[in-house]
């Protein structure tokens, strides 16, 4: 079954010299959320956006901000990103600082206490079982379908059984991130995803509206 779903354009692929304009255009075109990739040069080999920019995005947007922390020790940065405007705040199950159950439970609890929705993410090679203990404390599961770090990579179809497995366990928001196109997005929806994150497929398209529409299915 393919379900209707939300689309969260990943700002990593936008033209940052025209950030507010890009945000207005994707919102007009039907973006449900905005996806923001935060990278620290440790958990992933790239550096991107910090809380100052998230706060600027918040002031330029009306839709929920889906903030994806690709950081070591994300637990040190929860409050600063929620204060900056994160609606959903997602940490990686592999990250130092939240890699054991006590640490992860504490981080997810803190995100909710601070008023945001709690997300947990896993790399393509991490098994679904790694996040299973946390699902009752989780609002969003973000399945990575490329190695985190860069936009524009090819979708890894091996993650589809994992999406299907997580959907059997979890009724909340289930997103897939990396290499999403109209074709791979359809496979993810059929596997149970209800949120598609797409950078290149939206921001490098001729029509943001057509791109977002084709992802919604
Ligand atoms: C990669 C990021 C993704 C990325 C997706 O580490 O988490 O959100 O921006 O970009 P595309 O859609 O181009 O694969
Ligand atoms: Zn992301």
Catalytic residue among 37, 40, 66, 139: 37
Expressed as residue numbers, the domain containing 100 is 6-216
Query: Taking a C-beta distance cutoff of 8 angstroms, is the pair 145, 180 a contact?
Result: yes
**Catalytic residue at 37?**
yes
Residue whose pair of structure tokens reads 């950081």 in the numeric block: 71
- 196, pLDDT greater than 70: yes
**Ligand 1 geometric centre to CA of 145 (Å):** 9
Residue 67 in domain: yes
- Mean pLDDT on 165-172: 98
CB-ligand 1 contact for 109 (6 Å cutoff) = no
Residue 153 in domain: yes
**Catalytic residue at 15?**
no
What is the total count of domains within the chain? Answer: 1
* Ligand 1 atom index nearest CA of 149: 6
Give me the pLDDT at residue 13, please. Answer: 98
- 213, pLDDT greater than 80: yes
Residue 1 in domain: no
Query: Taking a C-beta distance cutoff of 8 angstroms, is the pair 115, 87 a contact?
Result: no
Say which CATH number the domain at 76 has. 3.20.20.70
- 163, pLDDT greater than 80: yes
**What is the share, in percent, of the chain residues with pLDDT greater than 90?**
98
Residue 181 in domain: yes
Give me the pLDDT at residue 3, please. Answer: 59
Residue 109 in domain: yes
CB-ligand 1 contact for 68 (6 Å cutoff) = yes
- Strand order of the sheet with strand 117-122? 6-9, 195-198, 173-177, 140-144, 117-122, 88-92, 65-70, 34-39
- Mean pLDDT on 70-83: 98
Q: How confident is the model at residue 1 (pLDDT cuts 50, 70, 90)?
A: low
Residue 197 in domain: yes
Task: Report residue 33: phi and psi, to 5°.
Answer: -135, 170
The 3-class secondary structure across the chain, one letter per residue, is: CCCCCEEEEEHHHCCHHHHHHHHHHHHHCCCCCEEEEEEECCCCCCECCCHHHHHHHHHHCCCCEEEEEECCCHHHCHHHHHHHCCCEEEEECCCCCCCCHHHHHHHHHHHHHCCCEEEEEECCCCCHHHCHHHHHHCCEEEEECCCCCCCCCCCCHHHHHHHHHHHHHCCCEEEEECCCCHHHHHHHHHHCCCEEEECHHHHCCCCHHHHHHHHHC
Residue 166 in domain: yes
CB-ligand 1 contact for 12 (6 Å cutoff) = yes
- 98, pLDDT greater than 60: yes
- 72, pLDDT greater than 70: yes
- Dihedral sign, Cα of residue 71, residue 14, residue 54, residue 49: positive
- 150, pLDDT greater than 80: yes
- 176, pLDDT greater than 70: yes
Q: How confident is the model at residue 154 (pLDDT cuts 50, 70, 90)?
A: very high
Q: How confident is the model at residue 2 (pLDDT cuts 50, 70, 90)?
A: low
CB-ligand 1 contact for 138 (6 Å cutoff) = no
Give me the pLDDT at residue 208, please. Answer: 98
Nearest CA to ligand 1 atom 10: 151
Give me the pLDDT at residue 54, please. Answer: 98
Residue 184 in domain: yes
């Amino acid at each position: 079954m393919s379900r209707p779903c939300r689309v969260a354009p990943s700002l990593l692929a936008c033209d940052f010299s025209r950030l507010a304009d890009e945000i207005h255009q994707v919102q007009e075109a039907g973006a449900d959320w905005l996806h923001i990739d935060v990278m620290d040069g440790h958990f992933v080999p790239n550096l991107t956006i910090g809380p100052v920019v998230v706060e600027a995005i918040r002031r330029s947007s009306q839709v929920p901000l889906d903030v994806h922390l690709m950081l070591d020790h994300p637990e040190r940065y929860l409050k600063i990103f929620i204060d900056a405007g994160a609606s959903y705040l997602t940490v990686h199950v592999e990250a130092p600082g939240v890699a054991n159950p006590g640490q992860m439970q504490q981080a997810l609890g803190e995100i909710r206490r601070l008023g945001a929705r709690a997300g947990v993410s896993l790399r393509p090679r991490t098994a679904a079982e790694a996040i299973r203990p946390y699902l009752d404390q989780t609002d969003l599961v973000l399945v990575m379908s490329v190695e985190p770090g860069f936009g524009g990579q090819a979708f890894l179809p091996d993650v589809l059984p994992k999406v299907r497995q997580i959907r059997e366990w979890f009724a909340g928001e289930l997103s897939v991130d990396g290499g999403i196109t109209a074709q791979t997005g359809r496979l993810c929806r059929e596997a149970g995803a209800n949120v598609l994150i797409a950078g290149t497929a939206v921001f490098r398209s001729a029509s943001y509206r057509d791109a977002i529409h084709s992802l919604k299915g």
